[in-house]
Amino acid sequence: MGVFWKSMRDNRRAWIGWTVALTAIAAMYASFYPSINNPAMADALNSFPQSVKDAFHMEDYTRPENYFAVSVFGLLIPILVAVFAISAGVKAIAGDEEAGTLDLVQAQPVSRVSLALQRFLAIIVALVAIAAVMCLVVIALRGPGQFTALSPGRLFAICLQLALFGLLFAALAFGVGAWTGRRLYAIAAGAAAAVLGYLGDSFFTQIDSLKWTEKFSPFDWYLGGEPLKHGVQWEHAGLLLGFAVLFVAAGTWRYNQRDIAV
Amino acid sequence: MADTPAIQAEALVKRYGRGGTTALKGLDLTVAAGEVFGFLGPNGAGKSTTIRILLDLIRPTSGSVRVLGVEPRTAPGLRARTGYLAGDFVAGSRQTGRELLTYLGDLRGGVPAQRIRQLASTWDLDLDKRIGNLSKGNRQKLGVIQAFMHRPPLLILDEPTSGLDPFLQQQFVALVREAAGNGQTVFMSSHVMGEVQQTCDRVGIIRSGSLVAVEHIDDLRKRALRKIEVHFDSDAPALSAAGISDVVVDGNVLRCKLSGDADALVKALAQYHVVDLISEEPELEELFFTYYQYQEA
């Protein structure tokens, strides 16, 4: 497990920074809830055209689950989680390889598969930590933020789906990086999935011929089943987890076969 | 075990990519346990490719390779018994030298902190500095220390002294000799003929992906031309003896080149009054050049 602990140690500052920043953003949005939850705001919101409201998933903000689904967990947090996950996934193999520092570690008595999996395990731990801290802080804010109508179980559900959503992007960037050894390809794959996934879940849904894309969007698997209203969406969670496992397995398999670039 | 070669490669072929360059074209190589083997050849001849195959960083297209008796591909644990140093040693720049050495030591099953401290003080290296703040020479020192610190049975060194000043190169030679004295095997590619001459028992010369010659350094030394200078008490005679060539007479001094046995020359000199006789250590460099240049022909 030496590689795992070294990964944790090398990344501890950055990962703690991400945890603090993401939690702070979530806490900030959550503590705005009392000022959003008033009739004037509801009227203002109702004046938006329906298509805009659909695209941004705007609904009645007097119910906290609607506000939280759009603001806290709707856009900034998942996008930042995806950015974090992609950068961590890229760095694990491809970034190290392009920096020329992977050679030294793979010249040690650690198998390729073990190195790859230990490094990915460290990313899993980071994502779980981010989601867990965020979840606990938001739950703690239920009283002061006047959104006790939102149960801790529902908040847990969305944080779990958020962690799995991050896991998918981490696995994609990690897998492409491990397969190719190229940072650029890994970043491109992650960014393309994030952008297309977002469009597929928002603007494409306005175009009838593109409505089907929603079903393939990681954003839909994360938020589409409205975990804040209905709890954990196991089918969506399964899709996120399943693809993550597939990407990590494929990347690791190929990494074990191929040459390490100089 | 003693009879198992430290390195054994047979018909090793390495092609990069589909239809890409062929770096190795059927390399056969045997390095006996306990010897110091110099692996020489021009840039691009396949030295690093061979070394990276030994460490399982890349996989041969065909052929077989065994390191300390096992296939590198199937036995990652083997690498606890090897020490590897690349010419341009790179490691994560934000950690300190001590962090890196401790990590690598732990991966190899543990290296006493005492041993690391002692090597660092011999090499005058500050282990508390971040690697990114070290000069190229100091980074290379760190590379030397990590390769030797766990006293591996086999050292695989790829141009180990690049970036080291002549004093440190000399210190490196001492370290290799010490390792050889402990019975460790050293497989080393190098362009510094001085260190090859001072450390290696045998050298193999690789050219365009195959081994063209393997020689004992003593045999090479015998064949190499030795510069001779003889001072006489009067005008130097125009001497001729077996093995000497390029005779130049300059007043009382005679200069010539000698290959092989010195006996004929000494007997021929015996009839004169010889004031001084200077015989330089043969330079293998020129001999290697002939191998290197062969490639262009």
**Which of B78, B92, B106 minimises the CB distance to A10?**
B92
Mean pLDDT of A240-258: 96
Phi then psi for B7, rounded to 5 degrees? -135, 135
Paired sense of beta strands B253-259 and B244-250, if any? antiparallel
Residue B237 lies in a domain: yes
- Looking at the structure, do residues B61 and B166 belong to the same domain, yes or no? yes
Average pLDDT, chain A: 89
Q: How close does chain A come to B78, measured CA to CA in Å? A: 7
- The CATH number for B70's domain is 3.40.50.300
Measured between alpha carbons, how far is A258 from B181 in angstroms, rounded to an integer?
A: 37
* Number of structural domains chain B divides into: 2
Nearest Cα neighbor of A170 from A116, A210, A213 is A116
- Looking at the structure, do residues B77 and B209 belong to the same domain, yes or no? yes
Answer whether A108 sits within 8 Å of B79, measured CB to CB.
yes
Residue B297 lies in a domain: no
Residue B54 lies in a domain: yes
**Sign of the alpha-carbon dihedral angle for A117, A123, A127, A133:** positive
Nearest Cα neighbor of B212 from B32, B48, B27, B52 is B27
Alpha-helix runs per DSSP H in chain B? 47-54, 97-107, 113-122, 136-148, 166-181, 193-199, 217-223, 263-269, 284-294
Answer whether A107 sits within 8 Å of B95, measured CB to CB.
no
- The CB density around residue B247, as the number of other CB atoms within 10 Å, is 15
Measured between alpha carbons, how far is B179 from B201 in angstroms, rounded to an integer?
A: 13
- Looking at the structure, do residues B153 and B71 belong to the same domain, yes or no? yes
DSSP A185: H
Residue type for position A8: M
pLDDT at B296: 47
pLDDT at B297: 40
**Residues belonging to chain B:** 297
Measured between alpha carbons, how far is A197 from A219 in angstroms, rounded to an integer?
A: 6
- Looking at the structure, do residues B122 and B146 belong to the same domain, yes or no? yes
Per-residue pLDDT reduced to its tens digit, A74-126: 888 999 999 999 999 999 999 999 999 999 999 999 999 999 999 999 999 99
- Looking at the structure, do residues B126 and B252 belong to the same domain, yes or no? no
Measured between alpha carbons, how far is B210 from A251 in angstroms, rounded to an integer?
A: 34
Which of A8, A103, A255 would best serve as a mutation to test chain B binding (most B beta carbons within 10 A)?
A103
Residue B41 lies in a domain: yes
Answer whether B57 sits within 8 Å of A109, measured CB to CB.
no
**Which of A108, A257, A259 minimises the CB distance to B107?**
A108
Nearest Cα neighbor of A229 from A117, A128, A151, A122 is A151
Answer whether A107 sits within 8 Å of B77, measured CB to CB.
no
Give me the numbers of helices (H) and strands (E) for chain A, helices first please. 14, 0
Q: In what order do the strands lie in the sheet with B210-216?
A: B82-85, B154-158, B185-189, B36-40, B202-207, B210-216
Q: How close does chain A come to B106, measured CA to CA in Å? A: 7
Structure tokens at B63: 């052929």
Measured between alpha carbons, how far is A3 from A17 in angstroms, rounded to an integer?
A: 22
Paired sense of beta strands B22-31 and B225-232, if any? unpaired
Answer whether A99 sits within 8 Å of B90, measured CB to CB.
yes
- Looking at the structure, do residues B254 and B181 belong to the same domain, yes or no? no
Which of A11, A113, A256, A259 would best serve as a mutation to test chain B binding (most B beta carbons within 10 A)?
A259
HEC assignment per residue over B127-154: CCCEHHHCCHHHHHHHHHHHHHCCCCCE
Whether A204 has a pLDDT exceeding 90, the answer reads no
Residue B2 near residue B33 (C-beta atoms within 8 A) = yes
**Which of B94, B95, B107 minimises the CB distance to A110?**
B107
Q: Judging by beta carbons within 10 Å of its beta carbon (0-12, 13-18, 19+), is residue B145 exposed, middle or buried?
A: buried
Measured between alpha carbons, how far is A50 from A72 in angstroms, rounded to an integer?
A: 21
Nearest Cα neighbor of B204 from B217, B192, B218, B194 is B217
pLDDT at B246: 85
Residue B32 lies in a domain: yes
Nearest Cα neighbor of B62 from B28, B107, B36, B33 is B28
* Angular region, A238: left φ>0, alpha ψ -120 to 50, beta rest: alpha
Q: How close does chain B come to A106, measured CA to CA in Å? A: 7
- Looking at the structure, do residues B78 and B101 belong to the same domain, yes or no? yes
Per-residue pLDDT reduced to its tens digit, A153-200: 999 999 999 999 999 999 999 999 999 999 999 999 999 999 988 888
Write out the residues of chain B at the interface with chain A, using a CB-CB cutoff of 8 A.
Answer: 16, 48, 52, 55-59, 76-80, 82, 84, 86, 88-92, 94-95, 99, 103-104, 106-109, 146
Which of B85, B103, B140 would best serve as a mutation to test chain A binding (most A beta carbons within 10 A)?
B103
Nearest Cα neighbor of A102 from B62, B58, B45 is B58
Nearest Cα neighbor of B70 from B58, B84, B80 is B80
- Looking at the structure, do residues B262 and B205 belong to the same domain, yes or no? no
Nearest Cα neighbor of A190 from A205, A177, A203, A204 is A177
Chain B residue with Cα closest to A111:
B76
Answer whether B103 sits within 8 Å of A6, measured CB to CB.
yes
Alpha-carbon radius of gyration of chain B = 23
Residue B101 near residue B145 (C-beta atoms within 8 A) = yes
- Looking at the structure, do residues B13 and B95 belong to the same domain, yes or no? yes
- Looking at the structure, do residues B68 and B124 belong to the same domain, yes or no? yes
pLDDT in tens, chain B (297 residues): 457 999 999 999 999 877 778 999 999 999 999 999 999 988 888 999 999 999 999 999 999 999 999 999 999 999 999 999 988 899 988 999 999 999 999 999 989 999 999 999 999 999 999 999 999 999 999 999 999 999 999 999 999 988 888 899 999 999 999 999 999 999 999 888 888 888 999 999 998 899 988 989 888 877 777 888 999 998 888 878 888 888 888 889 999 888 878 888 898 889 899 999 998 877 777 777 766 665 444
Could you tell me which residues are beta bridge partners of residue B130?
Answer: B96
Residue B294 lies in a domain: no
Measured between alpha carbons, how far is A101 from A8 in angstroms, rounded to an integer?
A: 17
Residue B290 lies in a domain: no
- Looking at the structure, do residues B244 and B153 belong to the same domain, yes or no? no
CB pairs under 8 A between A and B: 66
pLDDT at A57: 64
**Which of B79, B95, B146 minimises the CB distance to A109?**
B79
Domain that holds residue B173: 7-220
- Looking at the structure, do residues B31 and B136 belong to the same domain, yes or no? yes
Chain B residue with Cα closest to A105:
B104
Residue B116 lies in a domain: yes
Nearest Cα neighbor of B157 from B11, B277, B39 is B39
